[in-house]
Structure 1
């Protein structure tokens, strides 16, 4: 307890409680070993504010919702995204929207926002559905597939087509492999106590650099193709960036154009692919939920393709996606770093403190979600979303830095899921272990292996579905 000062007032404690850790490395080893276990255990043991020491780097883990709002909204200018962990990935994203700060971020955000709003957003639905149906044409009844790479490839094609008006298949395959190499290396870097320069010839560094070169080559080819073909009458995201001019009438530099294009291409597909992969992982275990979703889709659509106009009537299907992102949020952790001293929860902290906000923990809080470990999409069918405190559910982050593509991602996820469910159901294979792998996103290590079953079809294509809602695991009450 703090000693009183001469006037009898007690100063607030400097830091909240937390684990001692080990010499030199502090809590870094425990965090790196299993962060999805570490953070919930810290919240259970120490409460809403937990002090951490990451090899001498001061950190704070916050689960308190008012404090979360203070960091992400009320005092957001005091907390930047350049944290203990983000320093490892600057070579990938450069100064794109994901990592830029201040006036540069505000300028880029204004330029990018029209691509994800209003009628422009609705114009993407046909490409999303068409590319999904094209993928399904290659599937066969009864085969066993790993759904995760399928979703990664599909959402990458959708991002390339809708945001960059490109369908270069070889480039898409190359980018898919590059993304995997980047994610694996980033996960390894997060566990390091020190920053090892990219130029140091570790095997992982070499793969990382090669993956960056691949991403840069793919993006450069898209830019070159666009310049060669002309920008007239083109309204996609890349064309908008290339024709943008600042207050002085100057175009965006090639390096910044590269950073934004790579950021949107990578971030614009992986999180949605993960949301869909985890959704099918859960649906495969809860056939009652899948049957209810299929019944809604059949009632709304019959045998016709889904469009953006149908989304308001696909409420349970949307709830399935929302519940999957509650249990397995692709953006499972949010980090900030203070630029000035600050106070939270009655504690005071110094500038340079890293702050962790963990949706993986918040989304499983029994104070806000009844039976929080169970997949129950019906919980979203009433007014739960309206009643929840702000930031109790935050799959896309929050505040001014909320994901710019959240509406794009939700529309894509529901359209893709609906199109798939019209034609196939999925059976989870319990002998294929799936382990959540927390890197910059939450990936299914080992893949999500499912046995697919094709519904009866009309004219050789997906037709109306009238599934049974009989008793099964995951029966919806």
Structure 2
């Protein structure tokens, strides 16, 4: 049986140092040099096989739950933060939770949140001024946190006394979780024969405990109240399985934390990258502004406007191609899996990188160019199905994908209608492959209010 080629690993450390120094560059180099199926060693106990063929990616993602599983439950940080929610659970338990959660993400239900997204975006813009400098990453993170808090918990961070505690706990959890999950120092310490406390893990545990306390208090309050607030928590509380049972407090906690953490950082990053790219491509921004102004005039967008804003949707698709929020995902075969002429052993890691595949010249002419116009129906029809998968795929497709796409388009239109965003030092902007793909150090911008508004 042939052995997959790959970069030579160091004793004990494998390829961890190269991967840890520059994950995206490392993935680009090894996949270009060795092709689909390159074998690397970034964990101490098993190899990782990187798959870049759309047909094989489809086989892996579509068969997750049958011949493949996520295997995330064995990761102590994922268990600590996400518990046994939709991202981490497996098998029959996952299937039950997905069935219980699915009605909350029905298109009609999601569309009802569009007004909240636009209203909160408009509220934030009321505080923006012509010539103002700000960190757009922070502004978008704050906005999407407000939106997800309102839509999940019916809590407005502007007026609720719990707002400061919620915001602080979530920010600490996100920052420390992202740092710990991508820390080469942590990975190295885990290989030591003795256990040593990892820097920052104590802060993470404390923040998780604080967030749990806040969420469980909200759940208890709602159970006692028994009223439908029109939010996702109400839907989860009302959800019933075939046997009439609902979610326990522990299950609610895991699903709510998963939604809360995954539901705002990914969209915030997508919006930040959108305005970075628009600032570097004035011709694209001009077409966006012409579309928005032609359809909306000076009124705010609504969900009903989205079909009449096709170029806005094309921009969102192209941003998610170049800067997919989830840049790396993995599965593990439950039995030996044949990848072409190579046998991948059971329990190994199969790595899949949207970052790599979305920038493959074999699928995307001029792959590094920002070209929203490429997303025509004809182009999409000929594109292999799993050459583009910003939200994963198969049965574990992100349950909130429609929420995220709608939020990105509505917020982008709301901002572009009123402001041009100038990036202060575009040459310094780098992608930081943390838990999600964010601009390293944030994105400093200067705001320019559009003068044609009456």
Q: Shorter chain as normaliser: what TM range?
A: over 0.9
2:309 paired residue number? 314
Q: 1:287 maps to what in 2?
A: 282
Superposed CA deviations along residues 293-340 of structure 1, whole A, max 9, x for unmatched, are 000000111111101111011111111111111111111111111221
Q: How many residues align?
A: 445
Matched, 1:202 2:198: yes
Q: Is 1:136 paired with 2:136?
A: no
Tell me the distance in 2 between the aligned counterparts of 1:70 and 1:237: 32
Deviation at 1:349, TM superposition (A): 1.8
Q: Following TM superposition, by how much is the alpha carbon of 1:438 offset from its aligned partner in structure 2, in angstroms?
A: 1.0
**Structure 2 residue aligned with 1:33, among 15, 21, 40?**
21
3-state SS in 2 of match to 1:420: helix
Q: Which of 166, 188, 193 is the matching residue for 2:155? A: 166
Comparing 68-77 with 402-411, greater Cα deviation is found at: 68-77
Higher share in helix: 2
Residue 450 of structure 1 aligns to a residue whose secondary structure is strand
Q: Is the 8 A contact 1:96 1:256 kept in 2?
A: yes
- Listed one character per residue, the Cα deviations across residues 2-23 of structure 1 (whole Å, up to 9, x for unaligned) are xxxxxxxxxx42x311112101
Task: Select the residue among 148, 159, 167 that pairs with 2:137.
Answer: 148
- The runs of 5 or more residues in structure 2 that have no matched partner are none
Q: What TM-score, normalized to structure 1? A: 0.88
Quote the Cα distance in structure 2 between the aligned partners of 1:104 and 1:389. 32
Query: Is structure 2 residue 339 aligned with structure 1 residue 344?
Result: yes
User: If the length of structure 2 is used for normalisation, what is the TM-score?
Assistant: 0.93
- Which ranges in structure 1 are unaligned for 5 or more consecutive residues? 1-11, 464-477
Give me the whole-angstrom Cα distance separating, in 2, the residues matched to 1:224 and 1:166.
15
Which moves more between the two structures, 101-110 or 433-442? 433-442
Q: Report the CA distance between 1:76 and its aligned residue.
A: 4.9
The residue number in structure 1 matching 2:50 is 61
Q: Residue by residue, what CA displacement relative to the aligned partner does 1:97-133 show, whole Å, maximum 9, x if unpaired?
A: 0100111111111111112223111111110000000
For the pair shown, the structure with the greater C-alpha radius of gyration is 1
Q: SS at the partner of 2:200?
A: helix
Distance 1:33 1:264 in 2: 30
For residues 222 and 10 of structure 2, the distance between their equivalents in structure 1, rounded to whole angstroms, comes to 54
8 Å contact from structure 1 (residues 24, 56) kept in 2: no
Residue range with higher mean Cα deviation, 47-56 or 411-420: 47-56
Deviations 1:343-393 (A, max 9, x none): 111211211110100000000000111111111111114522222101111
Distance 1:203 1:44 in 2: 35
- Among 232, 235, 238, the alignment partner of 1:243 is 238
- Report the equivalent of 1:471: none
Q: Is the 8 A contact 2:64 2:395 kept in 1?
A: no
Structure 2 CA distance, aligned partners of 1:308 and 1:48?
A: 41
1:194 deviation in Å?
5.8
Whether contact under 8 Å (1:155, 1:273) holds in the other structure is: yes
Match of 1:337, SS state, is strand
SS for the counterpart of 1:203 is coil
RMSD of the TM alignment (CA)?
A: 2.1
Question: What is aligned with 1:7?
Answer: none
Aligned partner of residue 406 in structure 2, secondary structure: helix
Q: Confirm whether residue 298 of structure 1 aligns to residue 293 of structure 2.
A: yes
Output the CA distance in 2 between the equivalents of 1:343 and 1:432: 43
| C-alpha distance in 1 between matches for 2:309 and 2:283 | 17
**Partners of 2:429 and 2:370 in 1: how far apart?**
16
Q: Secondary structure at the match of 2:41?
A: strand
Q: Deviations over 1:429-452 (max 9, x none)?
A: 126722211122111111111111
Do the aligned partners of residues 177 and 140 (structure 1) sit closer, same or farther apart at CA in structure 2, a change above 3 Å counting?
Answer: farther
The 1:53/1:180 distance shift into structure 2, 3 A limit, reads: closer
Distance in 2, matches of 1:281 and 1:219, equals 34
Q: Identify which range, 288-297 or 434-443, moves more after superposition.
A: 434-443
State how 1:10-29 maps to structure 2 within 5 Å.
12-13=1-2, 15-29=3-17
